[in-house]
Every structure is written in structure tokens, then in C-alpha cells.
Amino acid sequence: MSRCVALSGGVGGAKLALGLSKAMLPEELLVIANTGDDFDHLGLRICPDIDTVSYTLGELANLELGWGRRDESWSFMETLGSLGGDTWFNLGDRDLALHVERTRRLQAGETLSAVTADVAKRFGITSAIVPMSDDDVRTIVDTAGGPLAFQHYFVREKCAPKVTGFRFAGASDARPSPAFREAFEAASPELVIICPSNPFISIDPILALPGVRGMLAGTVAPIVAISPIVGGKAIKGPTAKMMDELGLPATALGVAEHYAGLIDGFVLDKMDADEEDAVRALGPDVLVTNTVMKSLDDRVSLAREVVAFSRQLSAK
């Protein structure tokens, strides 16, 4: 049974997921990974957030890059470049093997859930890593210069275009994956965590799936979000830049406003303690603590604090 369901994007979410897997029995954790970033490239299915979570929980992640595998080599990319191939999206040699094998298995008819679960098992991971959906959902970033497929915006254009909005193509026809639905249908989870991931491109695609907001509204479990914005800056990635461009305050309060009505608890960094009252006024209870996760100890202690905070909320 899954006591804790964590909704996650890539690096920030994966760090907390690793902490959670060590703050509880790993089998008690189910991580729902965003698949809006997925795309087909060089004939391969690439699933960046699933892979970042899997590499992180498998302790195989490339910590310098924040994506891909550690101990990586780049012969494939170098050779591809020398042949005049497309090199804007970097696929390391070890990482490449995962994309090749996943693509083969998907083409043979397996679901993304099945492939993801098998890869996690082979990495020695005992927490469940579940794609948000087995159906294709693709994030489109609307920019001042027109719409861009997510990885074109994020990697090829290096997040430079000014964002005007987001769309999740395919979401309205997609179903949440079976394990995602079962986590709420069989018995309620004990807690639901919205990881410190980008609200617009990592969490909103999950929330856009039909039925997900209903599952969250219907659960007795407390829903706790952790701010990915600390001191007006994103720990990693373009969250603060996007908020600026969308005309939203790039603050923890701005993130809490985005989740207002959905969450019971909000965790913000000590650096943003002056926003506590304004967040409380929106409805959720607030935990103010250190949220910047540099070391493994930081990840585990934040996870423990979030779990303890959630328990207090359930007891209310």
C-alpha cells in the first residue's frame, strides 16, 4: 500500500523523493512523475522526469548536470555531431541505452507504466515510480514568438523566449495511469506531497489529467506543497522567470496562490518567513523551515519535517 503519494517533476522533485524514500519505508512511497516533458527524438522516446526520478532514487544520477546518468560518456553525441546529426539535445551513452530499450518495449506494446516499473526494479528501487499517464501528453509553451514544443523551449531555446502560457496537448483525452488511480481508489493515501517542482510545467500537467483534481479533492489525506521558489529565485530552472513573464509575483506566496484551494499545507523556506501570514490567509497551514536541499542529509531532514507536518494536519 502507498502511504505517501508524491507528485514530481525532475530535479527538485526527485531530490525530495529520495529524501522521502529514506524517511519512510521505501515501499510506502509512490512517486507520480510528470510526462508532459516527454518527446520523441532521433526515433527514441525520451522521458526526462521519469528518468531523473529513477536515476536519483537508484543513486545513479548525474548530480552536476541535474539530468542524465553519472559516470557518463558522450561518444554517441560526438559521433552524431561528426555525421552532421542533430546535437541540441544531449544523450549520454549510458542514458541512450535506456531510451533505446524503452522505445523498443513501447513499440512492442508494453505500457510506459510497465517499462518504468521494470527499469526501477532493475535499478534496485523499491519505491513505486509511476508515469502520470500511459497516454501521450505533451506540454506546449506559448511564447511571444509562437508556440514551442516543451524541449524546444527548454533545451534548444534555453528557456529564452518570453512565456505567455502553457497547454498540455492530449491531456483531456488521457487517463491517469492505473497505479495513480489505484493509489486513491483502493484506499486513501496517508499524505499527498506536491514536490518543489515547477508548478506550471511539472505539476500542472499532472493536475490537467481528467479526474486528478477530483481524486485530490476527494482524498482525506492532507495535501502539502513545498515551494520551489526561495528568496524570489528558483532553486533550479526557469520557474521565477516564467512567473515574471506571466505577470505573477515570483515568490513562495505566488506559488501558494497558484495551489490555493487544492492544498492543506504549504512549506516555505526560512528566507521567506515574512510571507507566512499571507500564505496562511489563503487557507493552508504553513511550515517554515530550511528547504534548500544541498546534501543527502538535507533531503532526508526536509522529508521528515514534511511528513511530521502532514501528520499534524491529519490529526486536526
CB closer to ligand FO1 out of 54 and 291: 54
Q: Please report whether residue 54 would count as binding ligand FO1 according to CB under 6 A.
A: no
Q: Please report whether residue 14 would count as binding ligand FO1 according to CB under 6 A.
A: no
Q: Which residues pair with 163 in a beta bridge?
A: 143
Q: In the set 4, 16, 18, 91, which binds ligand FO1 (CB under 6 A)? A: 91
From residue 60 to residue 79, the character string flagging contacts with ligand FO1 as x (rule: CB under 6 A) and all else as - is -------xx-----------
CB closer to ligand FO1 out of 140 and 278: 140
Q: Please report whether residue 48 would count as binding ligand FO1 according to CB under 6 A.
A: yes
Q: d(Cα 117, Cα 100) in Å, to the nearest integer?
A: 16
Q: How far is the CB of 307 from ligand FO1 (least distance, A)?
A: 25
Q: In the set 4, 5, 10, 127, which binds ligand FO1 (CB under 6 A)? A: 10
CB closer to ligand FO1 out of 142 and 276: 142
Q: Please report whether residue 155 would count as binding ligand FO1 according to CB under 6 A.
A: yes
Q: Please report whether residue 100 would count as binding ligand FO1 according to CB under 6 A.
A: no
Q: How far is the CB of 99 from ligand FO1 (least distance, A)?
A: 8
CB closer to ligand FO1 out of 89 and 123: 89
Evaluate the CA torsion angle 277, 281, 282, 283 in order and state its sign.
positive
Q: Please report whether residue 9 would count as binding ligand FO1 according to CB under 6 A.
A: yes
Evaluate the CA torsion angle 212, 213, 215, 220 in order and state its sign.
positive
Q: d(Cα 84, Cα 161) in Å, to the nearest integer?
A: 26
Q: Please report whether residue 154 would count as binding ligand FO1 according to CB under 6 A.
A: yes
Q: How far is the CB of 257 from ligand FO1 (least distance, A)?
A: 22
For ligand FO1, the binding residues in 278-307 under the rule CB under 6 A are: none
CB closer to ligand FO1 out of 65 and 246: 65
Do residues 97 and 122 touch, judged by C-beta distance below 8 A?
no
User: What are 150's three cell numbers?
Assistant: 516543451
- Element (DSSP H or E) covering residue 223: strand 223-226
Greatest pairwise CA separation for the chain in angstroms:
63
Residue-level length of the chain:
316
Q: Which of 187, 196, 184 is nearest to 305 (CA)?
A: 196
Q: How far is the CB of 89 from ligand FO1 (least distance, A)?
A: 5
User: What are 177's three cell numbers?
Assistant: 495511469
3 state SS of 4: strand
Which residues have a Cβ under 8 Å from the Cβ of 31 and sit 6 or more positions away?
Answer: 6, 8, 13, 17, 53, 57, 127, 128, 129, 130
Binding site for ligand FO1 (CB under 6 A): 9-10, 37, 46, 48-49, 51, 67-68, 89-91, 95, 151, 154-155
